[in-house]
Amino acid sequence: MSKRRKLAVGLIGYNFMGKAHSNAWRQAPRFFDLPADVRMKTICGRHAGAVRKAQVQLGWESAATDWREVVADPEIDIIDIVTPNDSHAEIAIAAACAGKAILCEKPLGVSVAEGGAMLAAVRKARVVHMVCHNYRRIPAIALAKQMIEQGELGDRIYHYRARYAQDWIADPKFPLVWRLQSQIAGSGAHGDINAHIIDLGRYLLGEFREVCATMETFVKERPLTAGSRKRGKVTVDDAVTTIGRFRSGALVNLEATRFAPGRKNSIAIEINGNGGSLVFDFEEMNRLRFYDAREPEERRGFRDILVTEPQHPYVGSWWPPGHVLGYEHTFVHTIADFVSAVAAGKSVQPTFEDGLRNQQVLEAISESARSKQWVRVLKSPPTILSE
């Protein structure tokens, strides 16, 4: 009998996403029938005390303070990157050179150039690569994808409207954390949460053709740290609004903001086609609303699909119908699919190419906001063409 493979993981980073990913590495093999086992080998972070605490709490075998050591570890098969955005490229490229499979948090890098270099590196090394756009694997979103593909919204999509709204920095006294500094984050609400609804648009409806956008930084200076009198400049956007068009001709309306008091992590999506409409709201993530325009007129109306049936994507591995899932499950699903792909040596969406295409849309939007012009989204980036 052939020995079952065990994939050893090195997680670089340990804060919010570190927790979400650690939980997923632990849960994925417990709930999904995976072709390989997972070994949570090393967690890495710059601060020895904090990373040691995370190691114990999150259940990793060992802790390290230098990511290079983790990437060089011959026992490690997978590098999972959950660090601030400006370090994704360097770590991913080194991991690819070391032959590791890579899961990287979004946004892929801080620019199209970085994304292109990352994609070139993983292609050259022939390693499995994935960007963690976890919301693709909300069962209701995966169901929406199936329904669109099966033509339930008809054969022509008119609109994709998506709003990602948060309020965690709406208070002007909130300090200048790394997410508000362009040299680390690349951009603000744009790369952080607009990236998610761009990804969902691409996943559900295909590539963007052109965009026209505006951005605003409502609070231009903030305390350097909580309660401090010293202030620093906010160098990223607080909100971004975009209209655009997919290559299919469908129209796009996007809004991403961290200035929507009361909206904690709202992702509201509506898609309209000639056969009907779909509505999704992350605050009720186990539901998908569907209007079938082909039903007899007198019986038409939005129907509420509770996406907790075993036939629904991912749900069969969890609880009986009606026992709802949450945010953390989206990471478990992502990691379950990633482990299967790594074990089989196969590609898994969203790949670094998806990450790069996302980055191209992000950059076109930034360029439009800067120039106050419509901007075409590049079809294929020069870095890929010259590979």
- Binding residues for ligand SOE (CB under 6 A): 16, 166, 192-193, 265
C-beta closer to ligand SOE: residue 194 or 308: 194
Give me the least distance between CB of 121 and ligand SOE, in Å please: 23
C-beta closer to ligand SOE: residue 8 or 203: 203
Are the C-beta atoms of residues 190 and 237 closer than 8 Å to each other?
A: yes
Give me the least distance between CB of 16 and ligand SOE, in Å please: 6
Give me the least distance between CB of 105 and ligand SOE, in Å please: 7
Give me the least distance between CB of 162 and ligand SOE, in Å please: 13
| Calpha distance 83→145 (Å, rounded) | 30
Q: How many residues does the chain have?
A: 387
Tokens at residue 372, please? 């106050």
C-beta closer to ligand SOE: residue 30 or 264: 264
For 298, residues 6+ apart whose C-beta sits below 8 A from its C-beta are none
The DSSP 8-state label assigned to residue 46 in this structure reads S
**Torsion angle in degrees (nearest 10) through CA of 351, 352, 353, 355:** 100
C-beta closer to ligand SOE: residue 41 or 163: 163
> Tokens 């969890």 belong to which residue?
318
Beta 129-132 vs 157-165: how paired, if at all?
unpaired
Give me the least distance between CB of 368 and ligand SOE, in Å please: 22
Give me the least distance between CB of 272 and ligand SOE, in Å please: 25
C-beta closer to ligand SOE: residue 88 or 245: 88
Q: How far is CA 242 from CA 165, 264, 282, 375, in A?
A: 14, 21, 20, 11
Give me the least distance between CB of 150 and ligand SOE, in Å please: 28
| Calpha distance 157→325 (Å, rounded) | 29
Q: Which amino acid is at 84?
A: P
Q: Which amino acid is at 302?
A: F
Rg (CA), the chain: 21
Count the neighbouring beta carbons within 10 Å of the beta carbon of residue 238: 21
Residue nearest ligand SOE, Cβ-based: 192
The DSSP 8-state label assigned to residue 378 in this structure reads P
Give me the least distance between CB of 193 and ligand SOE, in Å please: 6
C-beta closer to ligand SOE: residue 190 or 245: 190
C-beta closer to ligand SOE: residue 44 or 256: 256
| Calpha distance 228→262 (Å, rounded) | 26
Phi, psi angle pair for 145, to nearest 5°: -60, -45
Give me the least distance between CB of 180 and ligand SOE, in Å please: 11
Tokens at residue 76, please? 């490690």
C-beta closer to ligand SOE: residue 16 or 301: 16
Beta 239-246 vs 208-216: how paired, if at all?
antiparallel
C-beta closer to ligand SOE: residue 8 or 256: 256
